[in-house]
Amino acid sequence: MPEILRMPEVAANTTEAVVSSWNVSLNTPYAAGETIVTVETEKAAVDIEAEAEGTLLRLLAEEGQTVAVGSPIAVWGHPDENQDAVDALVAALDLPAGSTVGGDAGNESPAEVAAAGAAHDGAGTASSGHGGRIFASPIARKLAAEAGLDLAAVVGTGPNHSIRRRDVEAALAVSRAAGASDSGPDTGASPPPARQETGPVAVRADFEDVPLSRMRQAIARRLVDSKHSAPHFYLRATVRVDRLLDVRRELGGDAGAAVTINDLIVRAVAVAHSRVPGLNVRWNGDSVRQYRHADIAIAVATEHGLVTPVVCGVDTMSIGQLARRTRELIQRAHNRRLRQEELEGGSITVTNLGMFGIEEFAAIINPPHAAILAVGAASQQPHVVDGELQVATIMRLCLSVDHRPVDGATAAEWMRELTGILEHPVRILA
């Protein structure tokens, strides 16, 4: 018996999500646990896996469409489901006309095909020149109708050749290009004389307004809220990291994963949290939440935007375990495969721009964290030790702190502990 697949609540308090991609084709069997669809929230793309084996029989939401949580996005069942039962189930949903994005185009009766052709301008389907049915999304139909475009002339790239918004936009672009190249009939008249310019010609710079992705909108909104609501103060420190670099070289691949300087810094932050737990907190409005373990977010710059996956229980990990976990999270962040729970929790973020040669910078706190540690590049610089000038490898740190849950003295004590740990890195491995 066919059943409805609804948009799940992939994160707490999420009211809607975008259908990012359908990962199985219509009328193609899939197994339990196989990813059916990927949906995108403001923070991440989330794979929705099948709870049981089955087949997608009808799509009710197209890729790129925003759907409210709990709303139907597809019909699934067994490959041999009766199409009348599928039609009845969809009809019972009382969806807007033409909401079905794709379906079984091979089981219509001649009467249904004729009816579809007669309803070309108002229904969700149109008869094609080959006697089949043309499936189009609501937005695609709207754009085609506004432009006077015949859907029968549009090549669909969706499931079962369904027509999507991008297909209509591509067809319109081709039509406009063809119109622009048509110079009209030759009347034999002489062309007008060229205009004589008497002064400099103003040249408009070429530019493109790129629509904001949901992730970019979320980043902008959260950082503006953070800057407005969290009173930031900043502490800066200069750390000598020659010993830290020696430890990193000595570890090499012995830890089971390539240990980076950032891994050692994250581990040092965890040790500092255990020694000064007053910074391992977050502001709850009417309370301050004190964490028992060090859950630390790491800033990862991807082509889709900045994400901050959280490494949980850093204080309980060996440096090798931390390196492996961090590498896994970074790889999945670039592939947009982070789970929602991996983006939540923690009290502090570590962000590192040292690989770009940036010596020092101040970062905006990632809400609801209490602090963010900005790490600059390590470089050789003159350094005075016991009155003698030496050449040392120096790294600059800047700690941004939310003054609501953390006092200046507490943050300063934490920063002193961190710099001491980095300069005596054997404590990181203890």
- Measured at the CA of 64, the angle between CA 20 and CA 61, to 5 degrees, comes to 90
Question: Do 48 and 8 form a contact (C-beta atoms < 8 A)?
Answer: yes
Active site residue 403: yes
One of 293, 304, 334, 403 is an active-site residue; which one? 403
One of 150, 246, 254, 407 is an active-site residue; which one? 407
Active site residue 228: no
Active site amino acids? 403, 407
